[in-house]
Every structure is written in structure tokens, then in C-alpha cells.
């Protein structure tokens, strides 16, 4: 999916919501544990009840790997289900990849060719050649971790670089723009760093930002929209736990749907107010 | 496996060789493509012919994920095979993990509980809380990426930090020592950075270093031993392509074995010369 198709979907649905599919067997509604493939069944219900309100899904590999081979089968079934039933959804492999070039080439094959994701999250620490192999696929995206939504983001990401006086994460924003265009690359900026969105937009005015961490991890949606939106919206705001674990009764589907709709309605309001 | 058991194995075998099991279906001997589960069959032969000369195996997840679910089944079979037949081998999940804490918890479960690895490689960019969940398992290790064996290592790892005048990778070495002891944590230091081993040993005198990049990626084994060895050896030197793809005929097992033995003989010599 290219940038203009993504923007079109955002405007059609009046939403820039990405739903995180992080199925934890300890948290999914109990009655689903009795069915065949609880993880896929849970995902399917979440997808069917949220697809109207979101434009993207993000699957976090950890939650599938923890369930072993059967979890990975559920993962592949989930992506196939979205592709076949909701082809307009943008699908993100949240796998935080990045390795030496010949290894990154294999990871890229796995996520883009084998599973057919639209995008994959990448850790920038290993530099340009670890990222290049992911950029050889047409209409596929990398999403570079820049400023993450955890307290550990303060350990190294805010390190001040001697030669420029800038933060390390700003140096990554600057340097990575030589590697790929804003039609191939997005950035992860955690919602908890609300105050940084304005200065980040000065460095990367045109790129999409994937914003995790609203809800449980804190983060103010309106401020993100106000300071982060550009003229292609430029935001994918992810919510995982706040939506998918909002209820665990047999009626969870209706409640999950309401939660997603609540976020979509806010986003619709902010698109009117803040779209450049 | 704890640090003392690892050192005992090194001294017994007079080797600090780690063999990288990176099975690329395009590179493994053609005659193996006809058998059931070529990836596992290839690995099994590599393991049987090298186990005498090495003390560790490292599986790079990318090469298994690229083959889809069947690749991951081959991966699990491989680890089980090593555990059952060569219980003294130290087994590393080269997966370059690291995510927000609740996600890292799931990754840790996947590699230590579900698959029973001894160690996992971790990317430090997301900081302390992304690493902590991996440290809750007894006798398991994290191996932090510090200075990698690719040209991209020059993009950010050598960034000079304003407050200390040190390189970013040195700051990571310093800071991470507050997170875990040298009985839980190792560091990845690429062989191409031979000149840095001496100063790295001043910062982390007691930790094990996992050193990839001898052979195809360049890197001088004797210099690494000379400047990197400490009084527990403190080195695991990895070789993947140089050993496992040294030949692709039906006689590859014998040639692979010779290649591993050649490295072991050198290591034996360096243990005599450089062990502190």
C-alpha cells in the first residue's frame, strides 16, 4: 500500500487508528479457550468488530512466539484473514528486526514475501546496511524505532551527541532520511513523549509516525494530533490493551467495538481540527 | 549453564568456538533438498561433525523464519537434538530481541521456557526495562548488542556522547553493568573492530564477549584472543558461513569437520598463549 492509498483510507474512515493484536492466552476471554485455535478466534472477533473504525492492524510477534509453533500458525491465519476480508487494512509486523545485511535479507523475505505484511518495525542501532534489504520491496514500508513508549527510552535515546548538540533519536531521524523516502519509511514515536512531537515534525515534516502508548502507557491523543498531524495526516495511533482487553465476558465483542468507535470519533474530530 | 560450567567446557575442549547454524535453502548441499526436512537434516550433520570442536551453537532466527512454519519446526527440532545429544553445548538464540517490558516478557518466555535456549541476543536501544524481563530466569543469559560486525556499526555506535566524550557503545557497556552481572550478561563485539578489544576489556574485564564476523566478514582471531581474553577465557567466537558453507558436495560433512577442527586448533594454541 502506498502513502496516498493510506491517506485515502484515513479520510474515508475518518480514522488513523491502528489496532494492536497482542493475544495473551492469560487475558483473552475464558470461553474462547475451549474453541479450536483460541488465539485466531480471539483475533478474528477483534478484527470483525474493529475493522470499521481502524485503518491498520499491528501484530506483535512476541505474543505469538510465546505460544510456540501453534501461535505462529495463528499469526499467519490472522494475516490471511485480514488480507482476504479487509484488503484496505494496512498490516504491520511489529517484530523490531534489524541485523547484518545477509540476515536482514532473510527477515525481509519472511515478513514481506512469506507473510505479505505491508510494514515491519526496525531497530536502527545496527545502521544503514541492516535496513537496506527491507527497502527492496515495492510498496512495502519500514518503521524505524526512534523514540519508544517505555521508561527505558530515557537510557540512550536522549543521549546528547557531542558534534551536533542534538539527541541521539534526532540524529537517527536526520541520518535515516538519506536511506529511504517518506513513501517507504515511517518512525515510531511513543505517545508518552507528547512534548517532542512539535520539534520532531520540524525534522520530519512529511513522514508517517506510528504512535504506540496511548491508553495504558499514558499519552494524550489530542496533543499528538495537534502537534503531530501533517497534510497527509501522518499519524497511525496504535492501541492494543486499551481496546482488546477492555472486557473479558462473553459480550466482549460489543464492548471492544464501542471502545474502538470512541477512539475513531475523537480522531474524526481531530482530523477536522488539525489536518494541515 | 553458568559461567563456570561454560569455562570448564572451554578448557575441556580447548575451544571457544561457537558454530552459527544459519541454514539457507539456497546454499545447503543439493542432495539434502530431496530428504524430509532439509534444514534439520543439514543442521544435524553440521552439529554431529562439529560438536567435538565447539562449545556453543547459535541459531539465527531469520534463516528459519524465511522458511515459514516448517522452518520454525526445524528450528525447534534442532535445539531439541542438541539438548538431547550434546547437553554440554551452550545454545544461543540469535534473535536480537528487545521491546517494551510486557512484550519482552513474552519474548523471554518464548526463548527460555518454550524453546529452552541458554542465551538470547538483545538490542539495547530501548533501555533497561526492555531487558529486565529476560533476567528473571536462573542460569540464562542475555547477550547485548554493543559493537556489531557490519559497516552500519559506524552509523550510531561510534557517536560521541557530549557529557562523557565516550562513544555510544562505551556508554552502553558502562550503563548496562548496573542492570546485570557478568554471570547473566555477555556483549556482542564484532570481530572487525579488533582494535577496540583492548579498551573494551578495560570497561568490562570480566564479561564474556560473543564475537561474530571472523571469516567472511574479516576479523583476526589471534588479535581477538590476545586483546579480548580474560581469566575465564571470556570469548565465544562465532563462525557461520566460513564453516557451514565451506563445501556443498556429498562429502561436505568431512570438510566442515576439518574447518571446525582448524579453528579449534588455533584456539587451543591461543588459550595457552593468552589466557590470563
Contact A65 B107 (CB under 8 A): yes
Confirm or reject contact between B144 and chain A (CB < 8 A).
no
Residue B67: closest CA among B25, B30, B96, B27 = B25
Compute chain A's Rg from CA coordinates: 18
Whether residue B136 has pLDDT greater than 60: yes
Task: Evaluate whether B26 touches A66 at the Cβ level (below 8 Å).
Answer: no
- Residue-level pLDDT, tens digit, chain A, 276 residues: 999 999 999 999 999 999 999 999 999 999 999 999 999 999 999 999 999 999 999 999 999 999 999 999 999 999 999 999 999 999 999 999 999 999 999 999 999 999 999 999 999 999 999 999 999 999 999 999 999 999 999 999 999 999 999 999 999 999 999 999 999 999 999 999 999 999 999 999 999 999 998 875 556 999 999 999 999 999 999 999 999 999 999 999 999 999 999 999 999 999 999 998
Q: What pLDDT was estimated at residue A219?
A: 67
Three-state DSSP at A14 gives coil
CA-based angle B18:B24:B25, to the nearest 5?
140
- Which of B108, B148, B156 should one mutate to test binding to chain A, selecting the residue with the greatest count of A CBs within 10 A? B156
Three-state DSSP at A143 gives strand
Contact B152 A130 (CB under 8 A): yes
**C-alpha to C-alpha distances, A233 to A54, A208, A262, B48, B266, nearest whole angstrom:** 14, 8, 19, 56, 59
Q: Furthest-apart CA pair in chain A: how many Å?
A: 59
Beta strands of A51-170 (E only): which ranges? 56-60, 90-97, 119-122, 141-147
- List CB contacts of A249: < 8 A, sequence separation 6 or more: A29, A255
In A185-224, the residues whose Cβ lies within 8 Å of chain B are 212, 217
Cell 530481541, residue?
Answer: B97
Q: What pLDDT was estimated at residue B2?
A: 97
Q: What pLDDT was estimated at residue B74?
A: 98
- Which of B64, B75, B96 should one mutate to test binding to chain A, selecting the residue with the greatest count of A CBs within 10 A? B96
Compute chain B's Rg from CA coordinates: 18
d(C-alpha A50, C-alpha A262), whole Å: 11
**C-alpha to C-alpha distances, B32 to B37, B44, B65, B253, nearest whole angstrom:** 9, 11, 19, 12
In A57-116, the residues whose Cβ lies within 8 Å of chain B are 60, 62-63, 65-66, 68-69, 72-73, 76, 96-101, 103-104, 106-107, 109-110, 114
Domains and CATH numbers, chain A: 3-274 (3.20.20.70)
Q: In sequence order, what are the beta bridge partners of A90?
A: A56
- List CB contacts of A261: < 8 A, sequence separation 6 or more: A52, A53
Q: Return the half-sphere exposure (C-beta side, CA atoms, 13 A cut-off) of residue B87.
A: 1
Whole-model pTM: value is 0.97
| Dihedral sign computed on CA atoms, order A88, A94, A95, A100 | positive
Of B63, B101, B110, the CB nearest to A106: B63
Q: What pLDDT was estimated at residue B80?
A: 98
Confirm or reject contact between B44 and chain A (CB < 8 A).
no
- List CB contacts of A265: < 8 A, sequence separation 6 or more: none
Contact A155 B128 (CB under 8 A): yes
Amino acid at each position: 500500500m502506498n502513502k496516498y492509498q493510506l491517506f485515502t483510507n484515513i479520510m474515508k474512515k475518518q480514522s488513523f487508528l491502528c489496532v494492536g493484536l497482542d493475544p495473551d492466552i492469560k487475558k483473552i476471554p475464558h470461553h474462547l479457550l475451549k474453541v479450536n485455535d483460541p488465539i485466531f478466534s480471539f483475533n478474528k472477533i477483534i478484527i470483525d468488530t474493529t475493522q470499521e473504525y481502524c485503518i491498520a492492524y499491528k501484530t506483535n510477534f512476541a505474543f505469538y512466539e510465546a505460544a510456540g509453533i501453534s501461535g505462529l500458525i495463528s499469526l499467519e491465519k490472522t494475516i490471511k484473514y485480514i488480507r482476504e476480508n479487509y484488503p484496505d487494512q494496512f498490516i504491520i509486523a511489529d517484530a523490531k528486526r534489524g541485523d547484518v545485511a545477509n540476515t536482514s535479507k532473510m527477515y525481509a523475505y519472511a515478513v514481506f514475501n512469506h507473510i505479505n505484511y505491508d510494514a515491519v518495525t526496525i531497530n536502527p542501532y545496527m545502521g544503514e546496511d541492516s535496513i537496506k534489504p527491507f527497502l527492496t520491496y515495492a510498496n512495502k514500508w519500514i518503521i524505524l524505532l526512534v523514540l519508544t513508549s517505555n521508561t527505558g527510552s530515557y537510557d540512550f535515546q536522549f543521549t546528547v551527541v557531542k558534534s551536533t548538540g542534538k539527541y541521539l533519536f534526532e540524529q537517527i531521524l536526520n541520518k535515516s532520511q538519506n536511506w529511504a523516502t517518506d513513501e517507504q519509511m515511517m518512525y515510531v514515536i511513543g505517545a508518552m513523549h507528547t512534548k517532542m512531537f512539535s520539534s520532531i515534525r520540524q525534522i520530519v515534516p512529511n513522514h508517517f509516525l506510528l504512535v504506540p502508548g496511548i491508553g495504558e502507557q499514558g499519552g494524550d491523543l489530542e496533543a499528538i494530533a495537534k502537534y503531530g498531524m501533517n497534510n497527509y495526516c501522518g499519524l497511525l495511533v496504535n492501541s492494543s490493551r486499551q481496546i482488546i482487553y477492555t472486557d473479558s465476558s462473553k459480550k466482549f465483542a460489543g464492548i471492544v467495538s464501542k471502545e474502538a468507535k470512541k477512539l475513531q470519533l475523537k480522531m474524526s474530530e481531530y482530523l477536522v481540527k488539525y489536518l494541515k
